[in-house]
Structure 1
Amino acid sequence: MSEYAAARLNMVEGQIRPNKVTDHRLVEAMLDIPREVFVPQAARGIAYVDEDIAIGGGRYLMEPMVFARMLQEVGVEETDVVLDIGCATGYSTAVLARLAATVVGVESDASLAQRAGEALAEVGAVNATVVTGPLTEGHAAKAPYDVIVFEGLVAEVPEAITAQLADGGRLIATVMGDRGVGEVKLYQRIGGVVSGRILFEAHSRPLPGFEAKPKFVF
């Protein structure tokens, strides 16, 4: 077993399985996808640590345990079309591509988007594409989506993105709570109405463009 394969196994056995992640398809995907391909060369030795990893431009790959919990809770199915918002270098998109029929990754940083496209090709994620554009707009051209995943902290989920959910579709994001703590929330669109509920608290790095809007005080 290679050094990276051993680290990947340790990540799954030490971080993923002990934290309520039991979906065998998700576990297998995280065992298979080489996370080191999606981080800078200098960071490959820490690709499997249990924390966010800096990948340049002020962006991070989400902590594996939080990412895995989110995907388990949103319940990605083999027939789903998925929108991955803030895909960065494409690791999240690659994992999602193992679970869903089609995945569209959206990235605002053109250099990260290019790296994502190259890395996805390297791991054979033929059912995944990456588009460059404002994260806050999602990607309406391929909507509606069965699942939408946010790869970072947001102040709130914009209506422009919930509008891209299919009826019965699910959206999961880490949203800043009233106490200043990130809360992973699961939303669902049913009959035109979108409702959400808090699942668990989590620390995630902010996604650009989703900062809280200034409040006017009179």
Structure 2
Amino acid sequence: MDFARARRTMVDTQIRVNDVTDTRIVNALMAVPREDFVPDSLKALAYLDDDISLGGEPARYLIETMVLARMIQTAAVGEQDRVLDVGAATGYSSAVLGRIAAEVVALEQDGALVGVARGTLAGDANVTVVEGPLTGGAAAKAPFDVIVVEGAVEQVPPALLDQLAEGGRLVAVVGHGRAAKCLVHTRIGAEISIRQAFDAAIPPLPGFEKPRGFVF
């Protein structure tokens, strides 16, 4: 399979046509071989316009590239920014972010995925893979200018918002299925402002569920 051609087709038919205008993001997507971040049996599907299952229990995914690109653009990731990538999985999103930002911390809690990410990201000097609970963030390396959450969540934990620098942005898809929205959380002093950016339907990221109330 001609992966370079598939990658260009992905950019032309999934990214450019969906209002992703930041050339840095386009160039990063062109530079990162997504096929290197999926299981061998799925390499031929690496550039489909869809989420790609990485297996596991609960299942983990690489979210579809269009949603990832729009989240990065919505977060306005700058060249000097420090970024926390929550739920980095095998490292694809962190590799893309690493070509845009100054420093990326790839946070993953699944030990098997951590091992894969460390291998695939070994040549990315500005990306550090950290193993730990996703909902806890990476407090030892905070604060961050941008936090990207790689999956739909029911709620954004305060622990993640606490790790935003002044003016920092956290982007996350909040909600279920097609009713979910990408929200931008921005720190302004002691307050967090929230605005809706776009609709998005991506698989859930485990651990971010709201507590269930008692039912008789």
TM-score w.r.t. structure 1 length?
0.95
**What per-residue deviation string (whole Å, max 9, x for no partner) do you get for residues 124-181 of structure 1?**
311001111110000000000000000001101011110000000001000016x972
RMSD of aligned alpha carbons? 1.4
CA distance in 2, matches of 1:184, 1:139: 22
Q: CA-to-partner distance for each residue in 1:88-132, whole Å, 9 max, x for gaps?
A: 0000000000011110011010110110010012xx311001111
SS in structure 2 at match of 1:99: coil
Residue of structure 1 in register with 2:110 after alignment:
109
Q: CA–CA distance in 2 between the matches of 1:18 and 1:73? A: 16
Match of 1:52 in 2: 51
**Alignment-derived partner of residue 93 in structure 1:** 94
DSSP 3-state at the match of 1:199:
strand
Q: Which residue of 2 aligns with 1:159?
A: 158
| CA distance in 2: counterparts of 1:49 and 1:195, whole angstroms | 34
Greater shift, 193-202 or 82-91, is seen at 193-202
Helix, strand or coil for the counterpart of 1:94? Answer: helix
Mean Cα deviation higher: 195-204 or 85-94: 195-204
Amino acid at match of 1:215: G
Distance in 2, matches of 1:53 and 1:138, equals: 24
Displacement over 4 Å in runs of 4+: none
Instruction: Provide TM-score, normalisation by structure 2.
Output: 0.96
Paired amino acid for 2:85: D
Q: Which residues of structure 1 form unaligned runs of 5+?
A: none
Offset, 1:215 = 2.0
Aligned length: 214
Task: Tell me the residue number matched to 2:148.
Answer: 149
Corresponding position of 1:185: 183
The aligned residue for residue 131 of structure 2 is 132
